[in-house]
Amino acid sequence: MIDFRYHIVSIVAIFFALGAGVVLGAGPLKGTGSELVASQAEKDRQQLADARAELVQVKALDKYRDDYVAKVTAGMTDGKLTNKKVAIVTMPSADNDLTNSVQDAIEKSGAVITTKVALDSKLFDTGQRQLVESLVNQLVTADMNFPADSTTYQRAGLLLARGVAAKEEGKNGDADSTKVISGLTGAKLMSLKPSQIKDRATLVVVIAAKAPTPAPEDSAYADSVDFIEGLDTGSGGVVVAGTPEAAADGGLIKALRSDSDATKIVSSVDVADLPAGQATVVFSLAEQAGGKAGQYGAINAKNGVAPSAVQTKDN
């Protein structure tokens, strides 16, 4: 217990301090306190004004940068994907604005969006693994060959690819693709717009969601990365597009980039929320169509800001 004498000493100290304050206030230091307060207030006001001015400048520079990219360098993507068929696959909880911005950039490059697939969180629920495995076995088509060492989710990615995409151009929707799509949507693992596949895409863009809170371990994305690998194997190429958060700890792009096998075939862009990043998605799709992959952006992107084919070479 705290000694009673402690309370007495504390109370005496408080009254002594109050008394000293009164004496000083009435003595030679009278007015000094108010002057100090006024001076500090003026400094605080100036710091606030400076901070506001700096924020306005930063916003203006950000707007200039984005407008410059959108209006001056955007022409660099014109015709990059002319007549290419592209499918967009959104991960659970992916941002709609990000998806729409990436889609606009792809369409402006001359590509055609054949379908938009929204994956449901149920697909990656560990409690649904048996359902996913069962569906894969039921829906496999005669022209599909699963690698002997493939995982359940690699096969599921291959299955979706058979429904909406193809490795070669000019493939249309058929009875098998309809069977695959009907099975996956019927199990409520995903939804499609439009619901019927007319043209199968050769290229696929996967829109990554921001990392949840608390951030999971990279291993939590093992099934998602396997699924994306399967999509790539069954199509002409995949680019995963997301924000810097998705490339930081706890994000899908971070997990993808930590998988050496995945990065050999799948590309990623971690600044797809910026006009420059959306252009990089287009460049990455063009690179994928040529059989190459790369990791681009601002967060631990080992291949730099964009594919080498569009970067200025050093003299």
pLDDT band at 180 (very low <50, low <70, confident <90, very high): very high
Note whether 241 and 106 are within 8 A (CB).
no
Output the pLDDT for position 113. 98
Return the higher-pLDDT residue of 6 and 301: 301
Burial of 292 (0-12, 13-18, 19+ CB in 10 A): middle
Q: How far is the C-alpha of 85 from the C-alpha of 113, rounded, in Å? A: 6
Confidence of residue 22 (pLDDT cuts 50, 70, 90): very low
Residue 46, helix vs strand vs coil: helix
Tell me: the pLDDT tens digits for 83-111? Answer: 999 999 999 999 999 999 999 999 999 99
Predicted confidence at residue 128, as pLDDT, reads 93
Average pLDDT, the chain: 87
Q: pLDDT class for 172, splitting at 50, 70, 90?
A: very high
Select the more confidently predicted residue: 56 or 29.
56
Q: Which amino acid is at 90?
A: T
